[in-house]
Chains A and B, each alone.
Chain A
């Protein structure tokens, strides 16, 4: 199977709240000292900024009172606080992936630079002025569009998730207590996307009625291809050129990618160069020998496009620690490729009893949905679970149910309920599932 490369099983070691999600180090004392030195230096002698930023700065002074010291000047590009260091976990070289640190994020939008990445032969460098999208095949008028032309069509903006269909497979196949939400399910992310409806473009070229499939092809070194039913293309597919208000980033498909809301991420072909309207699927490698799902009995499910209902507790989770008994918010994300999340239940006793979580920001269709359940921890060991339900009535299965239906070694579309174990000392570990 073509499971995406996985970050080290050893997630970041447990540390204070200022841990570095990639290296596992708590925000190093040296970098804190450097920050203190930098800010102090900026206040005193801005011309020495470069010098004081060096590692050799001996200053160990604490940060000055920010109400008694002018702050740093405005800048040309925002940066995160040095106390906030979320990182993807890049794995592999040309066939790589990078995983979203869900345990360090809030709300529902994934910052574009923390959106998961998956590519099959590197991230291409593409000049937008030379990139075009050609639509041809079973059409009245084959047309080639520049990026500027695509932007002149009526635009559509919507928020939805993209999830690699291999998401969660590693935590299923090889669970370990030291797995963070990033390692368990970091191959899903949620963005606001802007682009042109594929239906608009298929009308422009005059797609013929016998054109029941559309082959999407990328302009990367994998020349990624997937066949998409025309019905999906006409329903809600977009060619997107923007993410969270700015141009796509190279790792996410710059300058233009296909977006199929609710369908497996591999089909949302990045760096799109061509759509070919066809009368049958092309049966590419990615939809035959990869991205198919072996079933018990020797069969394999093909064209399993839709991502099923799923949820994940992101806090408390490894490598976090509950600081003590009392009230804690159990928070997480739920999503489904079939429609809005209608309910998320949380259990704190391993599934014996369930409680309805709040969905404080509503549940937009085909988008990450935040859930939250306030829990009073009594200091005894607890097992935390979340179970999502979508508008079709689909319920996230237990691991046993999943195994009974899908077998022991799913490569894709893994959705079972996950557990987090809270020990009496407040440490939290991944409980599998």
Chain B
């Protein structure tokens, strides 16, 4: 049976007299209190890993020979290459990047359907940097109460000194954030030297300036306002949640009616477990009161669970007054059922289907990555004119051929004609008298070579299709081919 003290949230709770509304609302400063607990420690861990990955990745070296920067992860916009450890992606293979984005999208569905807004709570950059800045607040100004006092205090030399010191640390961290970002787009050690000697590209300075400014403003000052007003994810994520997704819940059927510890001790049968200590609100990084139910400001970081569990321990009540639970579990427990294991919510058709799709795309991409050739040929035929009659009666067609060498070393590639009886070819750089069935061209490492081919066939050769093949002349012997048309004068002329 449900607790008779439970609050029916479908009914109006209170009635405030209307006030003339202001045109704008000042941000209510959020001063989250220090807290320790399971989820706080997990948040530390995620912060450490994400920031570590972000700052360290560009400095991982990877031997690419003399032809490319020795950087493990590099987005080389100038040469349009994307390096990731031993994977090298060319512009025409951009579907790998598209696939990764699709995986990221489905991954978000998967995570959201399983564990709710875990992305928001732990790994979103805005969350991570806000957390960093809140720790700086705590380090410079002290914990919640000290900060609130300082906020109210009039501006004086001491406050000015404190604030400028704090903002300076904000600035340094913001600058680091922007500085690490540009390292992904050029060889990091070289860029660092260039940056400090004023030789880096203008876009590098502009990027650092913009990212420093946005980190400073969004992380240092706007914080939860970004989540509530600017970010589209909360809208999308809350729409993706269902009654089986984990959310942070206040178990009102157990907590209500609230009362101070003193009152609760006096008449235990009248009051629930919530002693209205407000700890859950005090520690919240976005300043919400979870006891008002699921709301857009809640990023499910679960710091309120840590806070409440500690209070419950202290007053000798069972933990979990605020807990991760699904809407279904809530109904079940409110009706007097036993709490169910969380694992049950993780494995259900919806999450498994998302996982299957996600895994299938990943497997397909890995397969494509494994079998892709590092030698490629594309052929473009001259259409104007489609064919050319030569003075000795032979017929000539012209083709523009692109040879791609996707290896980090120079390779010889042989282009050859398959089919087209009697056909020979020559190119701009060799005389027509040396026309042959095949020719070899050296292609620079990680480069495309454009070769213009003239294919000549004897008099009376009819229009037909034939194949151009390209074979790398090294131990790998990779091959690619392309079927092309040979046009010749027909009956109509």
A binds B: no
